[in-house]
Each structure stands twice: as C-alpha cells, then as structure tokens.
Structure 1
Amino acid sequence: MNTITKAIGLALALSTALAGVAMAQSTEVRIGVALEPPTLDPTAGAAEAIDIVVYQNIFEGLTRIDEAGAVQPGLAESWTISDDGLTYTFKLHDGVTFHDGSTFDAEDVKFSFDRILAEDSVNAHKEFYEPISSVTVVDPLTVEMKLDRQIGRFLFDLGRGDAVIVAPESADNNANQPIGTGPFAFLQWDKGSRVILEAYQPYWGEPVHLTKATYVFISDTATLTNALLAGDIDGTNNFGQEALGVFEGNPQFTILAGTTEGETILGTNNRKAPFDNLKVRQAMAHALDRQAIIDGATYGYGTPIGSAFAPHNAYYVDLTGTYPHDVAKAKALLAEAGYPDGFSATLKLPPLAYASLSGQIIASQFAEVGIKLELINVEFAQWLEDVYTNKDFDLTIISHVEPFDIGNYANPDYYFGYDNPEFQALIETLNGTTDEAKRKELAIQAQTILADDAVNGYLFQLPQTGVWNAKLTGMWKDSPIEGLVLRDIRWAE
C-alpha cells in the first residue's frame, strides 16, 4: 500500500469523527491550492499561481472575463470602437478607490499601460499590448487607446491578469504588498504557508459575500485530502483525479468537474540537439500512447489534444491522429535521424500530480523505443528559473493555462525555442484579423503547423476537478482564464 493510499485511508477513518468539528465561519473560506505564487504582482510573472490568488480578487482590468469566457465590463463601464477598429475609447467607473484609499482615474490606466510597454517592462506578455501606439487621458474618467493595427481579441486581452490596473504610488511594491481596486484587499502572506485576503469594504462594485479568504498552499494529494476531510480547508479548485473517489457520494462535499484552458504538453527544447531534428520529435510523438497517459495521469478526466489548442474552443480542430501511437514507426524515425540505439535525456518535472504521473508513464513509453529519460523533480520556483527563464532543460511537462496562448509559439525566445518564420507571419495575420470566419481558418492553419512540426508532445487538456464543502456555492466549474474568482462564493444560509 503506497503512502497516498495509507493517508487517504487514515483520513477516511477519521472523517466521521471529525465531521462538523472544524467548520469555517459563515463569512470566511479557506481554499487549498497546489502552488505558492512566486510573486503577487500579475503584471510581473507568468505563473498561474499568481492569478489564482489575485485575479479579479485584488486586481482588476478595464474588462474582465466571466466563467463562460466572455468579455464583461470591468473598471471600464463602457467603450466605443472607431469604424477602422484602431481607436478604443473607455468610459471609467466613478468612485473607484485603490485599497490604500487613493482614487482610481484615467491617469492610473495610462500609467499601467505605459509601464507594460516600457523598454524595461517585465510583463510576461508584453507582446499582447505592443500594438497600442498611444494611451491618452481625455478626462479623469475617459481614456483613449490607439492601435497601430487591428487586434481581434483586444478586449479579451485587456481582461487578462497581465493588464490589471495598478497605481504609480504602489506598483513597485505589488510583488509582496499588492494594492489594487478589487473586492478583496491583501492582508498577509506567510511565506510557504498561506495568503490571506479580506473584503475591501469601500469596494466600488457589487459587495461580496465573504469577509475573508485564505489560500493555503498544499502540494500533495494526500495532505489535501486529509485537510478537506478534517475541515481544515473548505475546498480546492483543482483536486487530484486519482483520489476523487474519496469524495464521491459523500454529502458533505460537492465535486465540480469542468474544463480548463490548460494544454498539457511534453515541453521540448527545440533549440537543442537532438530535439532540433524534426524526425526525432516525430519519433517521440509516435512513441506517446496518449490515452494511456490520460488514464494514468488524470484517471480518464483529461481530453486528448493533438496541438496547442483547447478542444472546447470554437476554433479547435482534432489533430490527434497526426502521429498515432506506433512504436515501430518511432524506432524507424530515430534510426533515420541517426539514433538507431536511441539516446538519453532529462525530464524536469514541477511538483504537480499530473506532471509526475505523466512523466513516469512517458519514461516507460520512451524506453520502448530506446529513449532513456532521467526524471528530475524540481520545486516550482526552480522550474520557472531553470526551464521557463534559463531554458536549461531537455524535456518537461507542464499545462499552458492561458487562453489562446498559441501565439507563444511565434516567439522564438519562448522557452521551447520554436523558430518558424511562416508560423510567426501566420500568427501576426491572425492577431490582426477581426472577421470570425477568417480567424477560425487561420487558427486551424496554425494548429496544423504545430502538429506537423511536433514542436512539443501534445498530451491532454487539463481538467478542473474542484472539491468543495457542500454548503458553499458560487465557485466556477470551468476555468476559461487563470484565476480562482471569489466574488460569487458564499455559504448557504
């Protein structure tokens, strides 16, 4: 019996005795999350863990994305778009304040976007906003943005965590003392343990139901299971599928099984031999038994993918048959590439259940074709430094959870180092296209190029399986954008 099974069995034995003993106050919630954010400034980091805590909670943008993935008004109550699609005029909400009591106005919007576009910007997705040629303060509650080309998803991009509005007085301290305009204000961060938010009483929008929210960092499934059953936390937005059976049929809990934007990939360093050889990447693609990975890593909850696009998106095309599982074909391609006996490589794994489980399965599958993998487990901060920043890796496993992030492949400096001028030109055209039919056609072309080039190993769409106290309502079942939005969560009367 393994450690997780023993721990879950112990938790089950204790659950009846502990039920109802540790109960959250009716206006507070404690949420278990897998990863601690490296910073609390969403404009200065790419980690999903940042947005899980701060997006739409502490910080807000001109627009916001709802549970269905649709654009809604945010700090901008309305906007108009010029006939040529190049000028956006935003009317801002009046009476908005930052959590330090300072007034929000058009100058803060201009400051935020000038900061994003500055030469020394550390924004993880500055490229989304580079088409902005000017930001002009018309009056304290009106901002005009001019673009140098049309951007089909501009309003959506304004609703991302990368584009939240910050104040010049506090922006430099947001990494550790975040100050935004959202319904929750930062209270404290106990490094390695938790982040605590409290409701911001002068909030300009609809009042929230909670007075306090605590994000507790719990990286392993067994500990998370025990915490849920003991009532130490009230829920989690994404529980390990391997242990969901513990909560099925238990009236004390609600299971929310939904989808995410997370394309789970076998990330491949395309700039490094032997992975710069297309035949090697094709061989690895043929060596992958996708369904076995889904069954083993997500207990069947994952959805197979063949390229870098979410299956629930209207632009999706099924390319899972591009390189079907074929051990003989994989061996033949390796021989053609000059590796008849295979090769050795490292696989760096962040501390995520789907990554470690997928890594073990893929190592076994690759061994069948002669590719010997050394599995290296790293903390997430180290993964960000080694893999994402320094590109010091052979292979990795990660879910890319940002919406419509296929554009990352047009950046040759991105961590997997894919440099295809044809693809870059296609994405530039796609980004500048507003006609929906044409956008879909271009998106399908882009997906097909990535599948054919086997840029990464495309595994599955990450499911979202939340487990919550049955008395809680208002949680998002699906995750169309990074974040764990608190505004609608409440305890039943």
Structure 2
Amino acid sequence: MKLARLLATSLLVTALADAAVAKDTVTLGQVLEPPHLDPTAGAAAAIDEIVYANVFEGLTRIAADGSVQPQLATSWEVSPDGLAWTFHLKQGVTFHDGTGFDSTDVKFSLERALAEDSVNAQKGLFEPIAAVETPDPATVVIRLKRPTGLLPWNLAWGDAVIVAPESAETNRTRPVGTGPFQFTEWRQGDRLVLSRREGADVALAQVTFRFIADPAAATAALMAEDVDGYLNFPAPEALPQFEADPRFAVVIGTTEGETLLAINNRRQPLDDVRVRRAIGHAIDRQALIDGAMMGYGQPIGSHFSPSHPAYVDLTSRSAHDPELARRLLAEAGVGDLKLTIKLPPPSYARRSGEIIQAQLAEVGIQAELVPVEWAQWLEQVFANKDYDLTIVSHTEPLDIGIYARDDYYFNYRNPDFQALMARIEGTADEAERNTLYGQAQEMLAADAVNGFLFELPKQGVWNARLEGMWANAPIQATDLTGVRWAE
C-alpha cells in the first residue's frame, strides 16, 4: 500500500512537471505552407506569417495597433529637405549564428533589395533610395532621390528585414535573423518548429506551426486540441461551435486583406474597361460574403482597407446589376465569353470561386474553375501572368502602390496613377496624403482594374488560456513575441 502511494505521488509529480513544461510551448495551425522562409525573396504571405518579428527583424516594425515602432533602430530623424534619414541602431545585437549586427548589415540588406538582379517581391519599396551610408557601426544614413514620408513604414515590411551577408543565400531553407526565435526544424508538408534563442525575452520556448488547410481537418485538429489555435481559421461555418465551447476564445478582427477577383488587364477582351466593369456588376458581394464567408467580411469597392482613415466606400461604383453587366458586354461586342478562374488553396478563394462562377453565368460569362496549389499560383499567376481571373487576398499593409508597377501581375498600366502614387510618396502631411489616397481609390474603381470583393476578416480561434494573440492583423504576421499561457 505504501509503495502504491509512493508510485501515485511520483506519477502526480511527473504529470505536474509535464504540465509546467507544456505551458511554454504552443502549436498553431496555419492554412498555407510557405514556399521558402526568406521574406526578402518571395511574395507569399505564409513566409511573413511565420518569420516576421519572430525570426527576422527590420529597422522598424508594425505593431499590433498598426503603428510603426522602433526595432533594430532605436530612433531616427529626417533632414529638413526630407532627403536624408539617419537611423540609430541597437548595439550588442547578434544574428542566430553568432555573427554581429551593425550598420554594414543594413547597408548590405538594402542594397541587395535594390540590386538589378534583386528577387525582392516589393522592390518598389526601396526605389526612392539613392544611397546607404554607414558613418559608424551604430548609425545608418539613407539618402533619397526624393522626399518619401513613408520610409519608416516601408522599412517595417517583412520584405525589408535585415539579413546578414554570411547567411543571406541560405535563408530560404535555414533562416538566420536577429529575432527572439530561431529556426529548428521543417518537415515539409507537415510542420515547422521555432525555438527561443538563448537569452531572448519571450515566454514561449518552442513554437510549432502545423500546416492544415482543409477546413474540416482544421476543425477536427482544434477540437481534439492537437493544435492550440489558428490566427486565421479557415472554416467560418464552425465558429459557432467554438464560441459555445469554453475551452476556446473566438476573436473576429480586421486584416489588411483586400480580397480580389484579380483580372489580367492585358488579356483580350479583359483589356476593355467595359468588360471589366461588366464583371464587377455581375458580382453580388453580399451573397458572396454570406455564402463563402458565413457573413464575415466587409464589401470593398477599391483596393483599400476599410479600417484605414483614408478609406472611401466605392462599392456603389460596381454595384450588383446583372442587366447593366449584360449591356456593357454587348457594347463591347463580347458574346459567349469563356474565361478561367485559377483558385489557390485557401477556403475563401475556393468557395468564392464557386459562387462567382454562378454569378458570371447569369450575365453570359462561362467561367471554368481551375484549382491550383500555392506554388503553382505563384509561378503561373504571380510570376508569369498566365491567367484570366484569379481570387486572392492581398494582406500586405497599405499596398495600393502595387498598381503603379508596370510588371505587376494585374498588368495594369496607368501613367496618371503612377504620378499620383509618386505624389503620395513625397507627401509628409498625413491629412493631405489621405486625400490623395482617396483619389487613388477613385481611379482604380473607375478603371475597374479588378473585381473588388471584400476585406478578409481575421477569424481567430485559440485556447482560451493563451494571452497576447493579435486580435487584428495590420500586417501578415503571427507575432509570438508577447504570447504566453495564463497561469
């Protein structure tokens, strides 16, 4: 009997010890697996969702409230003419491989992004930079071709994180940054593991990302507690089930994700604005939100987040009007139009595709749905522009400037829009800049560049004991630096 009591006590102590260990690890579900892990060399949001602020850091960062905060730079100032920005750097910082961080790493990273052979997906963010100077190891001076009031914001993107010359070429598979978590393991098709670096001031010792895209499988994994949460849960129809379960917190927030029926503006007959407008009028946004998103999401009429103070509601410009859509197609001389819609894996895209296919059919447009994997989408649609239509959510912050890029996959080229974006970049006054943003939204709506659908909601579901999870997503990130288990 005494031996049994001792054994029971031992097992209890072991169980309590195991529970204590479990409190500093977390397993999160993620819909998309990244194609690689270098945020400076890829457009996939799934890269930043794992490594932003966790593995890699920039001079600045975007915080949970959407504000720009210091990160590797402690402070900065701009010259009176707006052409020179001086950044003062943290000292004593090292990369995960032990190499030191200083101003030469900043110079290397920015010049690498600017290089002629750069593969940075947001190369345009760096175009205003004329030169990067390093007067001493703790100071960087960025000289500009023209005043760019948004420079601290631009440097807060994942595409602008600082990398080291010693490890830059292998960051795709073994990322080495200055962040509080370091890369441990990647079992492709299954999971990716990050571990707390020695001395890092974060509560979690280990983070595991499980790649589960299927909505039913995601629901089952959460219910079984095989994963502790999803920051972007792919099954909105299951949210009431989790809301009724006290084990979970369900938090519906906002994102920067403008969900589009993207249009190849250079492919006939989509190069005719009347055809693009017809597509816009064929879409019933509310029916789409109700059917594909279970009522979650806000309609948009241009490429801009409704949470931004410069947002203009332009949904009336492309209001659901099948008769007008048919008339516009007739005016354009288009009959029996057949198009393809390439659909990446996220459930919002696949489900929206089925509804939009039916809505287009009502106005005489036959749309074939072509499901593609994420790597295929990046190659065929984003890189090679081989598509008619596609559905995707652009989750980068304040990214309306992508429409000013001649080589962007929309194939939209408008010199007036490019000139307007140049004015915005050079405007330091926020109120004036917001007015110009409104004009930019108007221009995109008038040109019907894309079918503007809805702002992707952030549907978070996680263990109710987890603290510090972001309610909103001002940037595409799963920032775990402030996450901890409640005692």
Q: Name the TM-score, length of structure 2 as normaliser.
A: 0.95
One-letter identity of the residue aligned with 1:410: A
**Deviating 4+ runs (over 2 angstroms):** 21-24
* Among candidates 413, 419, 441, match of residue 447 of structure 1: 441
| Structure 1 residue 437 displacement after superposition | 2.0
* Among candidates 373, 379, 386, match of residue 385 of structure 1: 379
The alignment status of 1:270 with 2:261, answered yes or no, reads no
| Structure 1 residue 420 displacement after superposition | 0.9
**Is contact 1:349–1:359 with CA below 8 Å preserved after alignment?**
yes
Structure 1 counterpart SS, 2:457: strand
1:330-359 deviations in Å (ceiling 9; x for gaps): 1111111112x4311100000011101111
**Is contact 1:23–1:231 with CA below 8 Å preserved after alignment?**
no
* Among candidates 216, 222, 226, match of residue 216 of structure 2: 222
- Determine the C-alpha separation between the residues in 2 that align with 1:398 and 1:46: 12
Bigger Cα displacement from structure 2, 470-479 vs 323-332: 323-332
| Structure 1 residue 412 displacement after superposition | 2.1
* Among candidates 162, 165, 179, match of residue 182 of structure 1: 179
Relative to structure 1, is the Cα distance of residues 209 and 22 closer, same or farther in structure 2, using a 3 angstrom cutoff? Answer: closer
- Determine the C-alpha separation between the residues in 2 that align with 1:113 and 1:234: 37
Percent identity reads: 57
Residue in 2 aligned with 1:150? 147
Q: What pairs with 1:452-467 in structure 2 (closer than 5 Å)?
A: 452-467=446-461
- Determine the C-alpha separation between the residues in 2 that align with 1:441 and 1:470: 41
- Determine the C-alpha separation between the residues in 1 that align with 2:318 and 2:145: 40
| Structure 1 residue 23 displacement after superposition | 11
One-letter identity of the residue aligned with 1:84: D
One-letter identity of the residue aligned with 1:124: A
Q: What pairs with 1:108-119 in structure 2 (closer than 5 Å)?
A: 108-119=105-116
The alignment status of 1:321 with 2:316, answered yes or no, reads yes
One-letter identity of the residue aligned with 1:195: L
* Among candidates 48, 51, 64, match of residue 54 of structure 1: 51
* Among candidates 14, 18, 27, match of residue 24 of structure 2: 27
- Determine the C-alpha separation between the residues in 1 that align with 2:328 and 2:224: 53
One-letter identity of the residue aligned with 2:219: T
- Determine the C-alpha separation between the residues in 1 that align with 2:238 and 2:336: 36
One-letter identity of the residue aligned with 2:39: P
| Structure 1 residue 24 displacement after superposition | 8.1
- Determine the C-alpha separation between the residues in 2 that align with 1:195 and 1:384: 21
Residue in 1 aligned with 2:162? 165
5+ residue gaps, structure 2: 1-17
One-letter identity of the residue aligned with 2:337: F
**Is contact 1:22–1:230 with CA below 8 Å preserved after alignment?**
no
- Determine the C-alpha separation between the residues in 2 that align with 1:417 and 1:193: 35
| Structure 1 residue 85 displacement after superposition | 1.5
The alignment status of 1:252 with 2:223, answered yes or no, reads no
| Structure 1 residue 323 displacement after superposition | 2.0
Bigger Cα displacement from structure 2, 303-312 vs 150-159: 150-159
Equivalent pairs counted in the alignment come to: 469
Structure 2 counterpart SS, 1:261: coil
Residue in 2 aligned with 1:293? 288
Structure 2 counterpart SS, 1:321: helix
Structure 1 counterpart SS, 2:461: strand
**Is contact 1:266–1:456 with CA below 8 Å preserved after alignment?**
yes
Residue in 1 aligned with 2:462? 468
Q: What pairs with 1:1-150 in structure 2 (closer than 5 Å)?
A: 25-150=22-147
Residue in 1 aligned with 2:299? 304
- Determine the C-alpha separation between the residues in 1 that align with 2:431 and 2:156: 23
- Determine the C-alpha separation between the residues in 2 that align with 1:454 and 1:111: 40
- Determine the C-alpha separation between the residues in 2 that align with 1:268 and 1:451: 13
- Determine the C-alpha separation between the residues in 1 that align with 2:284 and 2:20: 44
The alignment status of 1:477 with 2:471, answered yes or no, reads yes
- Determine the C-alpha separation between the residues in 1 that align with 2:121 and 2:433: 24
- Determine the C-alpha separation between the residues in 2 that align with 1:436 and 1:84: 17
| Structure 1 residue 243 displacement after superposition | 1.5
Structure 1 counterpart SS, 2:243: coil
- Determine the C-alpha separation between the residues in 2 that align with 1:226 and 1:121: 42
**Is contact 1:22–1:231 with CA below 8 Å preserved after alignment?**
no
The alignment's C-alpha RMSD in Å is: 1.3
Residue in 2 aligned with 1:284? 279
Residue in 1 aligned with 2:418? 424
Q: Name the TM-score, length of structure 1 as normaliser.
A: 0.94
Residue in 1 aligned with 2:194? 197
